[in-house]
Amino acid sequence: MKKLLAGLLPAMLVVAACGGGGGTAQGGGTEEVTLTLNWYPYGEHAPFYYGVKQGIFDKHGIKLKIQAGQGSGKTVQATGAGQTDFGWADTSALATAVEQGVPVKSVGVFLQTTPASVQFFSEKNIKKPEDLKGKSVATTAGDALTKTFPAFLKQNGMRESDVSIQNIDPAGKMAAVISGRTDVLLGFASDQGPTIKEKSGKDVGYLRFSEFGLNYFSNGLLAGKAVLQKNPELVKKMVAATQEAWSAAEKAPEAAAESMKGAAEQLPSPAVVLEQFRTTLTLLHTEATKGKAPGVNTADDWKKTIDTFQETGIIKETAEPSAYWEESVAPKG
């Protein structure tokens, strides 16, 4: 029996570390913590890998395990259910989930201008949203853009029936556009576009939501309410480490992008990863947070985002920022 228990104990620790529940204590005062991304790793996520490589998370007592996601919607659900300690996901998906009663909150939005966009080969001559009429659109179920694209169309005087939606797995979206199976795809301007350009050798165009009347908070760090209540000190450590990692990566973009080497089989080339991260760095602030550290939010910016979500039908009713954002543990500075 002693031998059996000795053999089972390491496996039990691994399982505990991979689930939620607020981290697992390790030697030296560190805790194993899982972070589930919004998507498979790409340049936007460089600060997390850089923070691990530079020992920033270790310094804050966190042994960070980064996991690929399958869309912001699924990441938000997993975070609320305690299947991961923290999530990295789009605020529109968070707001929708909160309205549905999912027990999850933002602890700091880092991408404060949305990179959401419609992407296509420039040869398609798509210049404005109306040019999408009759076009086929590749998207992925569970992706944040499945919620915001209808709002984008509505904002620009169009209906969902004006386009043909095709649900495709994440890896297949780019292939669908490159092969001509679909005309456009929905994605982040800081993600798929540079990869498509490199693989096809063709110029890629964008209709950025933020340039056509629909801007809002995008990706940020999430925590389930259970973790916030049971282990607020862990949340504060994770928030502090994340902010420090983003600040460090912003000052060393090449090194940050290089730190992602080997992060995933789907990882783009080093040149694309760097381009993705440089694009991400243009999205970190609003007018109210310029000059402040990454991840610092204001209540007024939250109200603007919430109002935008309600006006465009992403959520039915507005609530105070505190319903979505736990300011007590959010980044400062």
Q: pLDDT tens across 171-200, in order?
A: 799 999 999 999 999 998 888 999 999 999
Question: Please, what is the average pLDDT of the chain?
Answer: 91
Helical (H) or strand (E) element with 139: strand 136-139
What is the pLDDT at residue 1? 33
pLDDT: which is higher, 145 or 143: 145
Q: Helix H segments across the chain?
A: 2-18, 46-53, 56-59, 72-80, 91-99, 145-155, 170-179, 192-200, 225-230, 232-251, 253-258, 270-280, 299-311
Percent of all residues in the chain with a pLDDT value above 90, rounded to a whole number: 83
Q: pLDDT tens across 52-93, in order?
A: 999 999 999 999 999 999 889 999 999 999 999 999 999 999
What is the pLDDT at residue 142? 73
What type of residue sits at position 90?
D
Quote the CA–CA distance of 275 and 63 in Å, as a whole number. 28
What is the pLDDT at residue 17? 34
* Residue 28, pLDDT above cutoff 80: no
Place of tokens 């919620």: 147
Q: pLDDT tens across 232-268, in order?
A: 999 999 999 999 999 999 999 999 999 999 999 989 9
Residue 14 CA: distances (Å) to CA of 20, 168, 307, 318, 325: 12, 33, 42, 40, 30
Tokens of 287: 């007018």
Place of tokens 């985002």: 305
Quote the CA–CA distance of 181 and 242 in Å, as a whole number. 39
What is the pLDDT at residue 22? 64
> What is residue 126's DSSP assignment?
-
* Residue 153, pLDDT above cutoff 50: yes
* Residue 41, pLDDT above cutoff 60: yes
Domains in the chain (CATH in brackets) are 16-113+217-329 (3.40.190.10), 116-211 (3.40.190.10)
Quote the CA–CA distance of 37 and 304 in Å, as a whole number. 25
Residue 223 CA: distances (Å) to CA of 12, 81, 86, 87, 211: 23, 10, 5, 6, 30
* Residue 100, pLDDT above cutoff 80: yes
What is the pLDDT at residue 47? 98
The pLDDT of 90-102, averaged and rounded, is: 96
Please answer whether residues 217 and 245 qualify as being in contact, where contact means their C-beta atoms are separated by less than 8 angstroms.
no
Please answer whether residues 318 and 307 qualify as being in contact, where contact means their C-beta atoms are separated by less than 8 angstroms.
yes
The pLDDT of 105-116, averaged and rounded, is: 96
Quote the CA–CA distance of 253 and 213 in Å, as a whole number. 30
What is the pLDDT at residue 4? 37
Quote the CA–CA distance of 165 and 137 in Å, as a whole number. 5
Quote the CA–CA distance of 61 and 28 in Å, as a whole number. 8
Q: pLDDT tens across 199-241, in order?
A: 999 999 999 999 999 999 999 999 999 999 999 999 999 999 9
Nearest-5° Cα angle at 140, 135 to 146 = 75
The pLDDT of 300-320, averaged and rounded, is: 94
Quote the CA–CA distance of 97 and 197 in Å, as a whole number. 34
What is the pLDDT at residue 2? 38
Quote the CA–CA distance of 215 and 112 in Å, as a whole number. 9
What is the pLDDT at residue 6? 40
Please answer whether residues 82 and 227 qualify as being in contact, where contact means their C-beta atoms are separated by less than 8 angstroms.
yes
Among 172, 177, 170, 169, which residue's Cα sits nearest to residue 202?
177
